[in-house]
Structures are given as C-alpha cells and as structure tokens.
Structure 1
Amino acid sequence: MKIWTLLLLRLSLGWLLVIWGADKVFNVAHGMAVANKFYFDFLSIESVLRVGGVLQMLVGLAVVLGFARRWVYPAQVLFNGASLLAVMQSVIDPWSWVFEGSNVLFYPSLIIFAGSLLLIAFRDQDRLALDAGYSGK
C-alpha cells in the first residue's frame, strides 16, 4: 500500500507543478496577475515568466516520472514553499478574522508543502519511480 500511496502523491504533486507552469507559459496574462498580486512582481516580465513556467513544468514532469528525484524534489519544495509563503496570511487566518483578504481556499498550500517534504523523507521507499534503482552516488 505504501508504494501506491507514494506514487499517487508523486503523480499529484508533480502534475500540480506542470499545471502551474503551463499556466505561466500558455496563459501569460493570468500568470502575470498572479505574480503581481502574490509574488511582489517577481517574474512579472513576460519572457522570464515563460522561462520560469517551462522550468516548473520540467520539474513537475520529472517528479511525475520519479526521475532525478535527488535534485527535483528539493526544487519542488522551493516552488511549493514559495507558494506557501505567498499565501501564508491565508494559512494563518483562513477566515479573515485578523487579516483582511485571506482566503480559506489557499490553506491547502500547507498540505502541498508537507506532501513535498514527505516525498523527500520517503524517497528511498518509492519503488515505482523511474530512478528507483539508482543510488545517486
């Protein structure tokens, strides 16, 4: 059961990065709006946003496949950690009791971040990954 659970977690978290990256590449206006609102204009140059989106999609596909996990899992944590920090106000106060403009729908960012860390913690037990037989040494 553990290997199937890790596979499902890897597939879902990796595909989330693919979706977010594709949004930056193919829906640039939305990506720019998100960058401006949540990331202090970081990546708010169209060409940089698209390159970031492609990178995010490549990391996501590598996570889905379980390829180069030693390198892409930490990259995934950075992507998801940045998202978590961007919406931290909504994680701390999902119902806007203290912070105006919080949104309960952003609370899962904490769960996504925790799942990303879990993939790192159990990397050696994910036998269905493409690089499962590679020791990385």
Structure 2
Amino acid sequence: MPTVAHDQETGRDVVAPPVPVPKSPGSGSRRLSDTIQEHLNACPPDLPGGTPQVHDFDGTFSLTDKGLKLTITSGEAPTKPTWWQSTLLAAGFYSLGLAFRTACMLGVVASTGGAASVLAKTACA
C-alpha cells in the first residue's frame, strides 16, 4: 500500500513510492549486521555524513515477556592475555617503575645537593 503525505509547499497530496523491504536473514553466511545495513540503505536516515556503516556482527532478535531481546554472538578473540604476554607486561611495568624511582631519587638528591638522600628514599618509594 503506497504512503500518502501532504506536501506543505505545494499544498498537494503526494504518493510516495513503496520502499523495498530487504529480505530477512536466512540460512547461510548472512549476518544480522547485513540485514541492518540493508534496512539503512533502503530507508536512509537524515544524518550528517550520510548513511552510517554497520560493523560486521551476528546476532538474533527474540521476543520476551518484557520486550525485545537482542543477543549478539561475538566472534572476537578472547581478551585474556596468554602467560607470556602477562610476563612481558609485568616485567615492562616493573622496569618502568624502577626507572621512575631512579629518576625521582636522582632528581631529589641533585636538587638538594645530597642532603636529602634519606628523604629521597622515602619520598620516591
């Protein structure tokens, strides 16, 4: 059924052409993001910069007793670092801490002429 709108500039009723409805995601390699992108392309929103590009993801919509539920299945790699990555990070931050403490102690000793070396140990710990 065509959509009828009233054009206020001309004062006439205008019949809008029917908008093609994208196909629903079926079996195969279609993702939910593909369907959302097709809907955005078919009915582009009036946004600065044009139609936004949707990043690839997959998921499902389902109806619950409280409303609409969107479940996104992630194909992303786990973010937990491996044992060697954790070891490298720990060694790097330990070295960074030692470098900062050394710079702090040298700065305090140099600025006080060596008189505050005991204070520098405490302050830079």
Shorter-chain TM-score bucket reads under 0.3
TM-score, structure 2 as length reference:
0.28
Greater radius of gyration (CA): 2
Write 1 or 2 for the structure with the bigger share of strand. Answer: 2
Write 1 or 2 for the structure with the bigger share of helix. Answer: 1
